Structure 1
Amino acid sequence: MNKEEELTASFRALFDKRAWLDKTEMEERLRGYKPSEVHTIEYIEKLPEPNVTKLAAALYVTRGAVSKLTKRLIAKKLIESYQKEDNKKEIFFRLTQEGREVFDTHEELHKQFRERDKAVFAEITDEQYDMMISFINRYSEHLDAEIEKANIHLN
C-alpha cells in the first residue's frame, strides 16, 4: 500500500471508528430522529437565511431531497417555513422550540465527544494543526471542483 492509499484508508477507518463509537449515544439521545433530519436541523440553525438551495449545498443532496426533509420536519413541528416581507418568492426555514431542543441535544453530544477525545488533541502542536488543516482544505477544494464537474455532467 502506498502512502496515498494508507492515508485514505486511515481517514476512512478513523471516521468509521468515530461513527461507531458515537452512534449508540446519538441514537439513544436523539431517538425518533434520522441523522439526515438532525443534520438538516443543524444547518437550519447555523446557516444565514437557510432555504432549500443553501441546505442542499450544505448537505450535498438534491433540492428535491431537501424539500422532502423539510416537509417531514415541518410535519414533526421541528421547523417552520417563512417568507420575508420584501421577498415573497423565496421560502426560508427556522427552528421551532422543539427543533431547538433537538439542535441543543446534538450540540451537547458533540461537546461530550470532543471532551472524550481532548487528550489526543492536546498533544498536537500548532504547526501540526496548520499542516493538517492545510492538507484537508486543499483536498476539500479538489473535491469541491470534482463535485462541480459532476453536477455539470448531471445537468
Structure 2
Amino acid sequence: MNMNKAEHIIKGFSDVYNKMVSLNKFKMEDSLKEYTSSEVHCIEYIGENVDSNVTKLAESFYMTRGAISKITKKLIKKGAIESYQKPDNKKEIYFRLTKQGQETYKIHEGLHKEFQQRDKVVFDQVTEEQLDMMLNFMKKYSRHLDAEIKKQGLEIKDQSDFE
C-alpha cells in the first residue's frame, strides 16, 4: 500500500469536505440567519428523531452533554424547540420541534436538496459499483477510527450513515 496515496486520499477528503462546508455555509447562513450551524444541526436531528434528548444529541454530534444543554436552551429561548416529559418517566426530558422549528427544518431540508441537485452532475458520472467501493472504504475507515477512539478511551459512539 502506497502511503503517499493514502495521504492524498485523506487530504482529498478534507479538501472536499471543507469546500462543501464553505460553499453551503453562505447559503445556509443567508437562509437561516438567526441560527448557528450547531443549532441548525440540532433542529435537523430533533426533526428526524422522535424522543430526542440531551444524551442522544451529544452522542450524535460527538459533543458533551453540557454543550448540548446550552444549545437546546438557546433553541427553546428562540422558540424553535420545546421540551416535554413522558407520563411514565418524569426524570427524562425530551425535545420536539415547535411550528417555528418545523419551518426552519423545512428550509434546511430544501437547501440540502438544492445542494444535492447542484452536485448531481458528478454523481451521475460514477457507476453503482464505484459508489459501492467508496462506501465500503468509508465503512472500513470509519470502523478503524472507532477502534482507535475506543483504544484511547474516548466515548464516541458510531453514528456513521454508511450502513
Return the TM-score normalized by structure 1. Answer: 0.93
Single out whichever of 142-151 and 96-105 deviates more from structure 2.
Answer: 142-151
Aligned position for 1:85: 87
User: Contact between 2:80 and 2:100, CA under 8 Å: does it hold in 1?
Assistant: yes
Q: 1:54 pairs with 50, 56, 73, which one?
A: 56
1:143 aligns with 2:145: yes
In structure 2, do the counterparts of structure 1 residues 49 and 144 end up closer, same or farther at CA, with 3 Å as the change threshold?
A: farther
Structure 2: gaps spanning 5 or more residues: 156-163
1:14-25 aligned at under 5 Å gives the runs 14-25=16-27
Distance apart, 1:142 and its partner CA: 1.9
Structure 1: gaps spanning 5 or more residues: none
Q: Cα deviations across residues 57-101 of structure 1 (Å, max 9, x unaligned)?
A: 001100000111111100111100001111111110000011111
- 1:80 is paired with a residue of what secondary structure? strand
Kindly report the root-mean-square deviation, in angstroms, between the aligned alpha carbons of the 2 structures: 1.5
Aligned position for 1:4: 6
**Partner Cα distance (1:2, 1:100) in 2:** 46
Distance apart, 1:143 and its partner CA: 2.1
Distance apart, 1:48 and its partner CA: 3.3
Higher helix share: 1
1:56-71 aligned at under 5 Å gives the runs 56-71=58-73
Return the TM-score normalized by structure 2. Answer: 0.88
Distance apart, 1:132 and its partner CA: 0.5
Distance apart, 1:29 and its partner CA: 0.4
Aligned length: 153
